[in-house]
Amino acid sequence: MGTDGARALLERAATLTLQTGNLLNWGCLRKKCPATPGEEVRDCIQKTLTEWSSKIGQDLNQQNFSSLDQTLHRSEMQLTWCLCSFSSACSALGVAQLDSVIIAPAPVEDGTSLSLEYLQPYWQELENLVQNKKIVAIGTSDLDKTLLEQLYLWAQVKPSSNQVNLASCCVMPPDLTAFAKQFDIQLLTHNDPKELLCEASFQEVLQESIQNTKAHEWIPLWLLRYSVIVKSRGIIKSKGYIMQAKRNAS
């Protein structure tokens, strides 16, 4: 069946959930060394889709899209989630608890600013997961001092960390640094673009991977990046992406 089978399945599907598996097992990615996080996401999604489409019609049990390597005991691992466009997919990795979840909201429209009202429903979902002992700590990404303070004062479960984009500042803003120090919020840095995977980019990758498919009908809903770190040694044991898209058939 191959590509034709994959295309036929997509034409009948309403949602697509894609999991890359452990990227550290992908020798081809290690050699390429993508220059940016955005390139890595595109490369991973394209290779996963291409591999999947080539295996349609074969024994699905033979496909090498394994979940997390469970050879280490849970107490030895630190699991971190970074979400772009939040999803309540806490069980997707097949683990009982995550050490850290960082939410990175999708970019807002030009001319508008990210607000507390926008963050509240997502944060409440994260708080529920903390209270149900699915997550240990929750954090934010790219919040300035004003918004971080508003969230901190409103939230029941306080943010434990806030990521700051290195592209937006060479030095941490003094007011943000002072507030974070006062309330014991860890400031981290990252170099991700505002949007790791936009709609047009996903559709382009889908079209390249499965030719003649109706890629324009598919819209990415959320993207999750995870990593598993051996706590005692600081070694990355596993990393990968999970994403979901929906089809808007005309």
Q: Does residue 39 fall inside a structural domain?
A: yes
Bridge partners of 57? none
Residue 214 within any structural domain of the chain: yes
Instruction: Band the pLDDT of 238: cuts 50, 70, 90.
Output: confident
| 169-207 per-position pLDDT tens digit | 667 889 999 999 999 999 988 888 777 888 999 999 999
Which one-letter DSSP state was computed for residue 31? Answer: H
pLDDT at 113: 75
User: Does residue 173 fall inside a structural domain?
Assistant: no
Tell me the pLDDT of the chain averaged across its residues: 79
Q: Which domain holds residue 235?
A: 1-9+18-57+76-106+195-250
Q: Answer whether residue 140 is part of any domain.
A: no
The C-alpha atoms of residue 106 and residue 83 are separated, in whole angstroms, by: 9
pLDDT at 109 over 90: no
Q: Is the pLDDT of residue 95 over 50?
A: yes
Residue 149, in any domain of the structure:
no
| CB atoms closer than 10 angstroms to residue 59 | 7
pLDDT above 90 for 161: yes
Tell me: pLDDT of 227 over 70: yes
pLDDT digits (tens, 9 = 90+) for 170-179: 678 899 999 9
**Is pTM, for the whole model, over 0.75?**
no
- Of the listed ranges 7-21, 47-61, 111-125, 156-170, the one predicted with least confidence: 47-61
242 within a domain of the structure (yes/no): yes
Q: What is the DSSP letter of 108?
A: P
In the chain, % of residues over pLDDT 70: 76
pLDDT digits (tens, 9 = 90+) for 2-53: 578 888 888 888 888 888 888 888 765 545 565 688 888 898 899 889 888 8
Please give the Cα distance from 197 to 155 (Å, whole number).
29
Number of structural domains the chain divides into: 1
CA distance 119 to 152: 12
In a domain, 129, yes or no: no
Retrieve residue 221's tokens: 């809903």
Q: Write down the residue that tokens 């598996």 correspond to.
A: 21
In Å, the largest CA–CA distance within the chain is 60
Residue 240 domain-assigned?
Answer: yes
Number of C-beta neighbours around residue 6 at 10 A: 22
